[in-house]
């Protein structure tokens, strides 16, 4: 008796819900059958009046019916939401509600550091110059005093474009922009050249086949190594903090003579090599110094290639890796993080 009554209720409500055409009446339907004061709830409350032996069966049936009706209700709600114009549901529009904020991005950490580097040099009177990412061996090597049989060329002599008969390659450093700029301008000049560079390195925590460099070049009468030291010392202090010390270590680059590698006092242990805990500093590995760039006085041979009078002019040049500087500045331990597009990583900057 109760069973057939319940089954009838099921049939009727399913039919009813499928015919409802407005969200308002659907809400009324929900109130009538499914809410706390609804009909189904009443059936559950009345279970106590059912013959005890029948109770489990009837109880199960009521639950089943409740599920079926709830599902049909949800389904109908979805259908109506899809088909009805939005204003039917939102008759009230609160004009005082704040608007939805669009998600706002920001520059990639490498580019933030790029801009910081450029800003510092701009304040020192350097202009910004650009060169192509696809270079010719002449600009990437020869004019920088790296002849085709030079051993230092092996490590970068790569990434030639297909079908160009080794006449075009992805640049392995930003130094070719020195040549292009000197061909274009007469001294005195002061430029920096930011950009992408490419090398045949397997990706690891410290190497990546594509990264960014900033090249620098200053040419004038009487430019000396002291100017180089002064400019780079200011740069390092601006970039890493006033307390930063710099160290110039003799080195070799074919396009500079003399050449120097520049180190800064370790940003983590402040040159101590040890942490306060007594542990060896893991960033500088106990050395107290971190290498950050290559530099030197422009080689007379390079001036010869661009037809500058090397008796009259001298100059200095330098080149630094932007990822490396970002990693040191922000304590990032894996260069691959820059290209993996993890928002959790990027949103920290």
> Binding residues for ligand DAH, per CB under 6 A?
173, 175, 215, 253, 256, 294-296, 317-319
Return the number of the residue (135 or 215) whose C-beta is nearest ligand DAH.
Answer: 215
Residues 100-139, buried b or exposed e (16+ Cβ, 10 A)? eeeeeeeeebbebbbeebeebbeebebeebebeeebbbeb
- Give the shortest CB-261-to-ligand DAH separation in angstroms: 8
Is 213 within 8 Å of 320 (Cβ atoms)? Answer: yes
Smallest distance from the beta carbon of 115 to ligand DAH, in angstroms?
A: 20
Q: How far is the CB of 309 from ligand DAH (least distance, A)?
A: 20
Cα–Cα distance between 126 and 148 in angstroms, integer? 32
Cβ closer to ligand DAH: 40 or 146?
146
Nearer to ligand DAH, 271 or 315 (CB): 315
Residue 149 to residues 20, 145, 317, Cα–Cα distance (Å): 84, 11, 24
Q: For residue 82, how many other CB atoms are within 10 A of its CB?
A: 7
CB of 82 to ligand DAH, least distance (A): 58
CA distance 4 to 52: 18
As measured in angstroms, the least distance from the Cβ of 148 to ligand DAH is 17
Nearer to ligand DAH, 127 or 279 (CB): 127
Whichever of 27 and 199 has its CB closer to ligand DAH, that residue is: 199
- CA 14 → CA 1, 9, 75, distances in Å? 20, 8, 11
- The CA distance from 315 to 275, in Å, is 39
DSSP state for residue 338 in the 8-state scheme: G
Minimal distance in Å, beta carbon 302 to ligand DAH? 10
Nearer to ligand DAH, 208 or 253 (CB): 253
């Amino acid at each position: 008796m109760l069973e057939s009554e319940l089954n009838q209720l099921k049939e009727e409500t399913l039919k009813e819900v499928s015919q409802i055409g407005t969200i308002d009446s659907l809400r009324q339907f929900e109130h009538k059958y499914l809410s706390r004061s609804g009909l189904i709830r009443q059936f559950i409350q009345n279970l106590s009046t059912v013959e005890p032996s029948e109770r489990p069966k009837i109880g199960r049936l009521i639950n089943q019916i409740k599920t079926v009706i709830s599902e049909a209700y949800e389904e109908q709600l979805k259908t109506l939401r899809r088909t009805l114009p939005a204003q039917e549901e939102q008759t009230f529009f609160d004009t005082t509600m704040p608007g939805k904020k669009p998600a706002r991005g920001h520059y990639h950490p490498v580019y933030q550091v790029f801009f910081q580097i450029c800003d510092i040099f701009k304040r020192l009177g350097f202009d910004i110059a650009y060169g192509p990412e696809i270079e010719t061996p002449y600009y990437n090597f020869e004019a920088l005093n790296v002849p085709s049989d030079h051993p230092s060329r092996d490590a970068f002599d790569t990434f030639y474009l297909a079908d160009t008969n080794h006449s075009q390659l992805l640049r392995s450093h930003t130094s070719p922009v020195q040549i292009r700029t000197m061909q274009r301008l007469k001294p005195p000049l002061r430029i920096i050249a930011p950009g992408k560079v490419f090398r045949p390195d397997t990706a690891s925590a410290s190497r990546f086949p594509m990264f960014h460099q900033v090249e620098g070049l200053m040419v004038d009468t009487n430019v000396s190594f002291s100017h180089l030291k002064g400019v780079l010392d200011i740069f390092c202090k601006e970039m890493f903090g006033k307390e930063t010390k710099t160290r110039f270590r003799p080195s070799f680059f074919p396009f500079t003579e003399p050449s120097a590698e520049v180190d800064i006092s370790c940003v983590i242990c402040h040159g101590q090599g040890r942490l306060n805990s007594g542990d060896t500093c893991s960033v500088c590995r106990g050395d107290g110094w971190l290498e950050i760039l290559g530099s030197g006085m422009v080689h007379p041979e390079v001036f010869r290639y661009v037809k500058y009078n090397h008796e009259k002019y001298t100059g200095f040049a330098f080149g630094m890796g932007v990822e490396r500087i970002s990693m040191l500045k922000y304590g990032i331990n894996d260069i691959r993080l820059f290209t993996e597009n993890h928002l959790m990583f990027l949103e920290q900057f």
